[in-house]
Structure 1
Amino acid sequence: MILPSEPLPALQYDRVALRLVRVRDARTLQRELLANRSWLQPWEATIPGGVATFDMRVSIRRLLQQYRDGGGYPFVMEYDGEIAGQLNIWGVARGSLASATIGYWVSERFAGRGITPTAVALATDAAFEQYGLHRMEICIRPENVASLRVVQKLGFRYEGLRRRYIHIDGDWRDHYAFALTREDVPRGVLARWVAGDAPESAAMIAPGDLPHV
């Protein structure tokens, strides 16, 4: 198991790579976030009563401190060596739970290139094989069709509706919860997806949890 005191190896498949975020990434990430406001704002976490900040240096330092404390693994996503977004394994619980959650964003100009499912697969495999975790969860707003497609592609299992679960874009929002455990993917998430064996039906939403029109 890789500990926070040890170097975190980069992860790569084809043209997509994940590496530990660095403070010197702040300017590039801040530029991407500001350029993608309309694209990202509906899915961005907010703080009740708080004011949104775009000080990426502060944000990155906090993420790296969480990494050093063993609470997360913060990555940048790269495509052909260019920063395309961020992926964060957060809420790491050790001991008998050995679980964590994945969150991510990708710039609109990189959408549609398979970057996010590849990155999520790489990160989940690393969590199971290198970071000592047993369960990975992804929580997605029902309106976020693009992210729902990611968990469908990778065969994440639908686990239920969490009402008013996370404060997103200024209010408490419902989220669908999806997860995988290490036993679900003995060959790995990436290998199963690349082979075309991921059961997309696993992410099917229970009819009673679908939005009422």
Structure 2
Amino acid sequence: MRCLLRRSTCVWGRDIEMLTLRVTDPVGRGFLRPDPAGGPNPRELVIRPVLGQEHRDLDAVRRADGHWLRPWEATLPPDTLEHIPTFSQYMRRADRDHREGTGLIFGVRIDGRFVGQFSISNVHWGAMSSGMLGYWIVSNWAGRGLGSLCAALVLDLVVGELGLHRVEVCVRPENERSLGVCRGLGLIEEGLRPRFMHIAGQWADHVAFFIDSESLPEGGLVQRRWGSPAIS
């Protein structure tokens, strides 16, 4: 379906609402674990492509939790000729990737507040039809199943509905939570990739996982992992 709305609301040639994932009462329905501190259950989880100034709002959340996220963030090697773009350049490029179908950045909101990001990058269409999934979740939502649920929803969407044949996820061996997400969803483990990416100032090994259209289970990852669809 072609997007007939204004450009700013078109993502991968589709109305942005077609790429918006909503899960009501995610704790009550068993998709997320309750707050161990006894806080109220969230009413709604929304995973939606980020556009325009929303990038700044999401980045502010990431920066505020920098102590938690910085050890896992990609960095430029010292001998590179590349330069880190300004944030305005980053926003323009991200929105262009959304329009052209070469990248996809989802913001994760709980009851309207950003709590994480899931991104499909390095997208190649044609003979490869592949991409890579990367993500982060704020520290106060760690351990409650949010990463697993969002990863399953995003992979079900991009492989099951948007036409990518294969999506890879590469995780540092030290990142036990992220390894647990990939293994818990049943992604196929390919093995260790030595010095795969420059992370936190040094070349770091990664464990590679993937899922493709042939290995996507009938009904999707959410159905297999939780036994029922999250999107009603």
Q: What TM-score do you get using the length of structure 1 for normalisation?
A: 0.83
Q: Indicate which of 35, 46, 50 corresponds to 1:17.
A: 46
- Residue 102 of structure 1 and its aligned partner are, at CA, apart by 0.3
Q: Indicate which of 184, 191, 197 corresponds to 1:153.
A: 184
Distance in 2 (CA, whole Å) between partners of 1:146 and 1:97 is 29
1:99 corresponds to 2:130:
yes
Aligned to 1:127: 158
Aligned to 1:204: none
Aligned to 2:14: 6
The code of the aligned residue for 2:13 comes to S
- Residue 187 of structure 1 and its aligned partner are, at CA, apart by 1.8
CA contact (8 A) 1:164 1:173 kept: yes
Q: Indicate which of 126, 134, 138 corresponds to 2:169.
A: 138
CA contact (8 A) 1:100 1:133 kept: yes
Bigger proportion of residues as helix: 1
Alpha-carbon distance change, 60 to 86 in structure 1, aligned in 2, over 3 angstroms? farther
Alpha-carbon distance change, 59 to 85 in structure 1, aligned in 2, over 3 angstroms? farther
- Residue 55 of structure 1 and its aligned partner are, at CA, apart by 5.5
Distance in 2 (CA, whole Å) between partners of 1:113 and 1:57 is 33
Aligned to 1:176: 207
Aligned to 1:43: 72
Deviates more, 1:174-183 or 1:4-13: 4-13
Identity of aligned residues (%): 36
Distance in 2 (CA, whole Å) between partners of 1:52 and 1:148 is 30
Write out aligned runs for 1:52-91 (5 A).
Answer: 56-91=87-122
CA contact (8 A) 1:100 1:137 kept: yes
Distance in 2 (CA, whole Å) between partners of 1:61 and 1:146 is 32
Q: Indicate which of 31, 42, 51 corresponds to 2:60.
A: 31
- Residue 52 of structure 1 and its aligned partner are, at CA, apart by 9.1
Larger Rg: 2
Alpha-carbon distance change, 70 to 27 in structure 1, aligned in 2, over 3 angstroms? closer
- Residue 112 of structure 1 and its aligned partner are, at CA, apart by 2.2
CA contact (8 A) 1:18 1:78 kept: yes
Distance in 2 (CA, whole Å) between partners of 1:114 and 1:58 is 33
SS of the equivalent of 1:183 reads: coil
Distance in 2 (CA, whole Å) between partners of 1:85 and 1:67 is 18
Structure 1, unmatched stretches of 5+, are 197-213
SS of the equivalent of 2:208 reads: strand
The code of the aligned residue for 2:221 comes to V
Structure 2, unmatched stretches of 5+, are 3-10, 27-43
CA contact (8 A) 1:71 1:91 kept: yes
